[in-house]
């Protein structure tokens, strides 16, 4: 069962905020849009059977879990979990500037998951960056790069991978 987070955005100010934050725009003349986004804390089984958890950042309680992971790899610095973790520098709606460092961090995460560690990967919304990372992990686990986006959309969430640039990143990462 997927929880949902309500996010409000102001186009004029180019800001957005979630229901746990104070409004970042209080100008009554501005047009505000509310949309709902998934709060993922979803188990994902990679090709070959390795399992990990994909997480959205839940501002109301980001670190409450039935079971804490042994290790988390986060794609946004808003994460400050009490458990062992690492980061990939990865702008929202973008791709990592350092693709080699990203590939190394993803391989490390996969090794940890394969060795039986309880692992987690997360960004903020859990779709663009997390979806792209999951597609890359699927390729590392043996899925062909072609079709990795379709794989993550059917195995995790239909909204996974948000931009053509993120799609191209998955292919480019494995073409060298």
CB of 10 to Zn ion, least distance (A): 3
CB of 173 to Zn ion, least distance (A): 22
Neighbouring residues of 155: CB distance < 8 A, sequence distance ≥ 6:
44, 45, 134, 138
* Binder of Zn ion out of 3, 4, 12, 97 (CB under 5 A): 12
Residue 84 or 92 with smaller CB distance to Zn ion = 92
Phi first, then psi, for residue 90 (nearest 5°) are -150, 105
Q: Does the footprint of Zn ion cover residue 30 (CB under 5 A)?
A: yes
Question: Would you put residue 16 in left (φ > 0), alpha (ψ -120 to 50) or beta?
Answer: beta
Among 67, 34, 47, 170, smallest CA distance to 55 is for 67
25 or 103: CB nearest Zn ion: 25
Nearer to Zn ion, 13 or 150 (CB): 13
Among 74-82, 93-101, 153-161, 165-173, the segment contacting Zn ion (CB under 5 A): 153-161
- Residue 14 Ramachandran class (φ > 0 left, ψ -120 to 50 alpha, else beta): left
Residue 25 in contact with Zn ion, rule: CB under 5 A = yes
Q: Which among 134, 126, 127, 156 has a CA at the least distance from the CA of 59?
A: 126
Q: What's the rounded Cα separation, in Å, for the pair 141 and 66? A: 27
38 belongs to the binding site for Zn ion (CB under 5 A): yes
Q: Stretches 32-40, 68-76, 78-86, 142-150: which one binds Zn ion (CB under 5 A)? A: 32-40
Residues in contact with Zn ion by CB under 5 A are 10, 12-13, 25, 27, 30, 38, 157, 159
């Amino acid at each position: 069962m997927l929880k949902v987070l309500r996010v409000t955005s102001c186009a004029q100010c180019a800001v957005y905020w979630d229901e746990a934050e104070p409004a970042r725009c209080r100008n009554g003349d501005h047009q505000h849009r509310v949309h709902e986004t998934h709060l993922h804390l979803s188990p994902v089984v990679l090709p070959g059977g390795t399992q990990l958890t994909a997480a959205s950042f839940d501002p109301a309680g980001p670190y409450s879990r039935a079971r804490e992971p042994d290790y988390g790899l986060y794609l946004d610095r808003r994460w400050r979990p009490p458990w062992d973790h690492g980061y990939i520098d990865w702008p929202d709606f973008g791709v990592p500037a350092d693709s080699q460092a990203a590939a190394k961090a993803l391989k490390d995460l996969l090794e940890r998951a394969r060795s039986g560690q309880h692992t987690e990967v997360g960004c903020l919304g859990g779709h663009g960056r997390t979806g792209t990372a999951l597609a890359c992990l699927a390729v590392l686990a043996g899925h062909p790069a072609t079709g990795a986006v379709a794989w993550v959309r059917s195995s995790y969430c239909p909204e996974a991978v948000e931009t053509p640039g993120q799609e191209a990143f998955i292919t480019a990462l494995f073409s060298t």
